[in-house]
């Protein structure tokens, strides 16, 4: 079992355990409340919340438990499905041999030598280069380069580090690779912000921006829609701040299956988003004003889903053009 396998299992296990504890607590509180007129707080607090309209709060808690249990079942179904797909494939990719073991293995999208797997979209020849085995992005001008190939379901590993305080970048999944007015395309963005970004790029009144911006925020860019797991508006922010500051390497493991994205940061799954309305497209690396380095960009393709039949393929017309 390799590091990617451990990341995937640990993420699902910790999430499942947390939900199970919540369901159990709600059931216990609901049963205790019975026909009482107050409920909701653990006994240690000595306080309860008034029951609405004089009704028993026990019934409400039990209903909440049922809803939470249903939500957990859906989460288990979706994420367990991704695990069932991913784990055997990761294991096979590690084994020597032929046939399926070779079919499901990681492909290096950055080979440490050149940009042969990438096409510049709207930056410049000086924006992206290879130095000492690293993919170096100057951050200027703002824009992206895209993969030569489109992807639907996959596991993506990206190792990156910002070189400046407050740096901004990201990777786009399922992108149409067609920049709009802000020079960025439509797609699911996996945010890569340096930890000082909220304090350097403040609001007009000088107050820092929300810390949810940093450490792997997930959101649909350019009009893509999705349902956040840990909402901050339409975006999903990480449950835990795990990214390291400028000069230090970070490791993202992204599992993307049928419109659902789960993100592991430095060894732990901490964010997710689902029901994206784009489920096949290009990968894009983003330049947005500050120098950033990449030392690994690897992908393992998984079996196709329903993107084609649902009409959720973005950027298809670009594949008809000569790169």
The residue with greater pLDDT, 123 or 98, is 123
Element (H, E) at 62: helix 57-94
Number of domains in the chain: 2
pLDDT of 86: 53
Last residue of a domain, one of 47, 76, 103: 103
- Average pLDDT on 224-228 reads 98
68 and 175 assigned to the same domain: no
Residue 55 shares a structural domain with residue 168: no
Pair type for strands 250-257 and 154-162: antiparallel
In this structure, are 51 and 187 located in the same domain? no
Range of the domain at 30: 3-103
> Is 294 found in the same domain as 272?
yes
**Alpha-carbon span 129 to 317, nearest angstrom:** 27
303 phi, psi to nearest 5 deg: -55, 150
Q: What confidence tens digit (pLDDT) does each residue in 117-175 have?
A: 999 999 999 999 999 999 999 999 999 999 999 999 999 999 999 999 999 999 999 99
> Do residues 299 and 107 touch, judged by C-beta distance below 8 A?
yes
Q: Residue 68: pLDDT band by 50, 70, 90 thresholds? A: very low
What is the widest separation between alpha-carbon atoms in the chain? 71
Residue pLDDT, tens place only, 31-66 = 454 444 333 333 333 333 233 333 344 444 445 445
| CA–CA dist 80, 165 (Å, integer) | 38
Same domain for 185 and 99: no
89/114 same-domain check? no
Whether residue 72 has pLDDT greater than 90: no
Residues 113, 92 share a domain: no
Name the percent of the chain lying above pLDDT 70: 67
- Give this prediction's pTM: 0.73
How many Å apart are CA 30 and CA 227, to the nearest integer? 29
pLDDT surpasses 70 at 30: no
Q: Picking from 87-96, 184-193, 245-254, 304-313, which range would have the lowest pLDDT averaged per residue?
A: 87-96
Q: pLDDT at position 220, please?
A: 98
Structure tokens at 92: 């096979």
Same domain for 205 and 56:
no
The whole-chain average pLDDT of the chain stands at: 80
- Give the C-alpha separation, 238 to 241, whole Å: 7
- Model confidence at 319, in pLDDT bands (50, 70, 90)? confident
Same structural domain, 42 and 98 = yes
| Position 288 pLDDT exceeds 80 | yes
pLDDT, greater one: 96 or 208? 208
Which percentage of the chain shows pLDDT scores above 90?
63
Same domain, 267 and 224: yes
Which pLDDT value is given to residue 22? 45
Residues 94 and 209 in one domain: no
Tell me: do 94 and 191 sit in the same domain: no
């Amino acid at each position: 079992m390799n590091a990617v396998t451990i990341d995937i299992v640990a993420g699902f296990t910790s999430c499942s355990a947390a939900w199970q504890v919540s369901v159990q607590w709600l059931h216990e509180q609901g049963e205790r409340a019975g026909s009482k007129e107050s409920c909701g707080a653990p006994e240690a607090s000595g306080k309860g919340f008034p029951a609405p309209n004089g009704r028993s709060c026990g019934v409400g808690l039990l209903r909440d438990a049922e809803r939470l249990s249903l939500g957990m079942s859906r989460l288990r179904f979706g994420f367990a499905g991704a695990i069932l797909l991913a784990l055997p494939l990761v294991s096979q990719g590690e084994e020597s041999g032929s046939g399926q073991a070779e079919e499901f293995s990681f492909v290096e999208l950055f080979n440490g030598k050149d940009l042969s797997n990438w096409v510049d979209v709207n930056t410049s020849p000086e924006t992206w280069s290879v130095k000492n085995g690293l993919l170096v992005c100057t951050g200027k001008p703002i824009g992206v380069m895209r993969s030569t190939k489109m992807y639907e379901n996959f596991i993506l590993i990206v190792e990156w580090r910002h070189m400046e305080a407050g740096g901004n970048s990201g990777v786009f999944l399922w992108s149409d690779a067609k920049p709009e007015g802000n020079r960025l395309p439509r797609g699911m963005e996996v945010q890569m912000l340096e930890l000082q970004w909220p304090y350097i790029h403040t609001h007009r009144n000088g107050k820092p921006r929300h810390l949810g911006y940093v450490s792997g925020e997930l959101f649909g860019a350019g009009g893509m829609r999705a349902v956040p797991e840990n909402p901050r508006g339409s975006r999903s922010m990480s449950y835990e701040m795990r990214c390291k500051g400028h000069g230090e390497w970070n490791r993202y493991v992204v599992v993307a299956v049928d419109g659902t994205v789960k993100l592991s940061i430095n060894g732990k799954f901490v964010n997710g988003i689902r029901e994206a309305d784009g489920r096949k497209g290009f990968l894009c690396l983003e330049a947005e004003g500050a120098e950033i380095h990449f030392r690994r960009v690897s992908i393992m393709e998984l079996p196709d889903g329903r993107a084609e039949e649902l009409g959720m393929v973005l950027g298809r017309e670009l594949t008809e053009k000569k790169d």
